[in-house]
Amino acid sequence: MSQSFNAFAMAQEQLHAVAALMGLEPDVTTVLEMPKRELTVHFPVRMRDGAIKSFTGYRVHHNLTRGPAKGGIRYHPDTDIDEVRALAFWMTIKCAVVNIPFGGAKGGVVCDPSQLDIGELERLTRRYTSEIAILLGPDKDIPAPDMGTNGQTMAWILDTYSSLKGTTVPAVVTGKPISVGGSEGRVEATGRGVVTITREVLRSLNMQLPESTIAIQGYGNVGSAAAVLFHVSGAKVEAVSDVNGAIYRKGGIDILALQDYVRQHRTVVGFPGADPIPADEVLTMAVDVVVPAALQHVITAENANQIRAKVVVEGANGPTTPDADVILRSNGVTVVPDVLANAGGVTVSYFEWVQGLQSFFWTENEVNNRLEQILIRAYQQVHRAAQHHKVDLRMGAYIVGVGRVADAIRSMGIYP
Ligand code: NAD
């Protein structure tokens, strides 16, 4: 998580590696190397003491050849244009890996949401929305939650955009509350996808999810939903962490009791049913599966050799650096890449968008069944590509994802 780390340089390195492997035409690589468009906005927000503070925000569209722009909005003090560019690139690949008709986008506001009160968050969100509204629209760009944002943020974006348009436009955001057109199953979708993909990869390794042990870094939207579903599936979640610290219990934490504790205390730290451990130990625990579900750049050349899990399932975006990938591969650790492992979120976002456009809503079972079908198909395609080319699952996923985007670019041609 060092400040010098550049996520966009890492994303470009991944693109160049897959381009070389696939023999991608230089013209296509050139198109994918840089985002299609980027908007940077500086905007004023009235703070609780009456003072005006200026904030900086971004919205980046990476590639829209396969459909309108789709991607979350992140509120984080360290976000910057290169991080948002990288995340937009990964969204292009992710949507193509699960074969849903979107291009990649991402947004971010440089702020620490934990230091803002609810009124400040609402004013910041509404003003940021009005600043980037020229890009938004159900057929143009559809934001969703990411780190530091949630369903409430999406409801404010929906209301602000709808006020500007003079009509309610539910399909302009996904991950919104069910009361304003959200989808059943969306809140848990990314975590559910992490668990589904973990089950599939363990099967390929002749292991079983119900007997496996799990450690999860990050206990937010993704980490906590995955923890609950792992627990319900019979897996043993032995360690979890959040920004405040980590806890461990051999044989598995009672995740349902932890959920109650976190609802009250807003952290996993202090949970009486487990012991405190140093936060960075979560990634290097002797468990079957480690799920980084917090930040990027946490498995690096410095700690990759200490990873003892058999499988790393990337709930977060960009947690493993290319150097670390090489080390993990040579140590026999299977890494399931972010563009597959956390694609459950954007897949149910796609379902939410479809439901919003049709004003016809599905049951939670329908959502979960369709999600499962899409993820299993994507996993099998990625696994097959990796085996065929004798590469790891990340390269397999990039071969599938970049291959689909490249096909679309070839079909459309280069204008003019
Ligand atoms: P969130 O804000 O809900 O939760 C983040 C969690 O990480 C919190 O528990 C926080 O305390 C913890 N955390 C922060 N810094 C930490 C640190 N240094 N060590 C340990 N824990 C730390 O965010 P989220 O929506 O769960 O997103 C997490 C990751 O998953 C991000 O990389 C995001 O891009 C990715 N992701 C999210 C979604 C989604 O649907 N929300 C979809 C795909 C990918």
194 lines ligand 1 (CB under 6 A): no
Phi, psi of 149 (to 5 degrees): -125, 165
pLDDT digits (tens, 9 = 90+) for 163-194: 999 999 999 999 999 999 999 999 999 999 99
Instruction: Calculate what percentage of the chain has a pLDDT beyond 90.
Output: 98
Atom 14 (ligand 1) nearest CA: 243
Closest ligand 1 atom, CA of 268? 9
113 lines ligand 1 (CB under 6 A): no
pLDDT digits (tens, 9 = 90+) for 98-111: 999 999 999 999 99
Closest ligand 1 atom, CA of 223? 26
- Pick the residue with more confidence: 211 or 180? 180
CA of 315 to the centre of ligand 1 (A): 8
| pLDDT at res. 211 | 86
Distance CA 3, CA 9 (A): 13
pLDDT digits (tens, 9 = 90+) for 151-163: 999 999 999 999 9
User: Which single residue is written with the structure tokens 């990476």?
Assistant: 62
- For the chain, the average pLDDT equals 97
Which stretches within 4-117 are classed as H helix? 7-22, 26-33, 81-97
- Structural domains for the chain: 34-172 (3.40.50.10860), 189-341 (3.40.50.720)
Half-sphere exposure of 392 (CA within 13 A, CB side): 20
Q: C-alpha angle 55/60/65, rounded to 5°?
A: 165
> Average pLDDT, stretch 41-50?
98
281 lines ligand 1 (CB under 6 A): no
Closest ligand 1 atom, CA of 222? 26
Closest ligand 1 atom, CA of 87? 34
Mutation pick for ligand 1 pocket among 243, 244, 262, 265 (CB with most ligand atoms within 8 Å): 243
Q: Which of 36, 53, 70, 106 is catalytic?
A: 106
pLDDT digits (tens, 9 = 90+) for 244-302: 999 999 999 999 999 999 999 999 999 999 999 999 999 999 999 999 999 889 999 99
Task: Enter the tokens of residue 30.
Answer: 């050139």
| Residue 4: pLDDT band with limits 50, 70, 90 | low
CA of 22 to the centre of ligand 1 (A): 32
Specify whether 53 is catalytic: no
Helix axes 255-265, 221-232, angle to 10 degrees: 150
State whether residue 291 is helix, strand or coil: strand
User: Which single residue is written with the structure tokens 């996923």?
Assistant: 397
Distance CA 1, CA 280 (A): 12
Alpha-carbon distances, residue 50 vs 57, 118, 160, 295 (angstroms): 21, 15, 22, 33
Name the pTM for this structure: 0.96
Cis status, amide bond into 322, omega within 30 of 0: no
Mutation pick for ligand 1 pocket among 2, 190, 216, 248 (CB with most ligand atoms within 8 Å): 190
Cβ atoms of 173 and 143 within 8 Å: the answer is yes
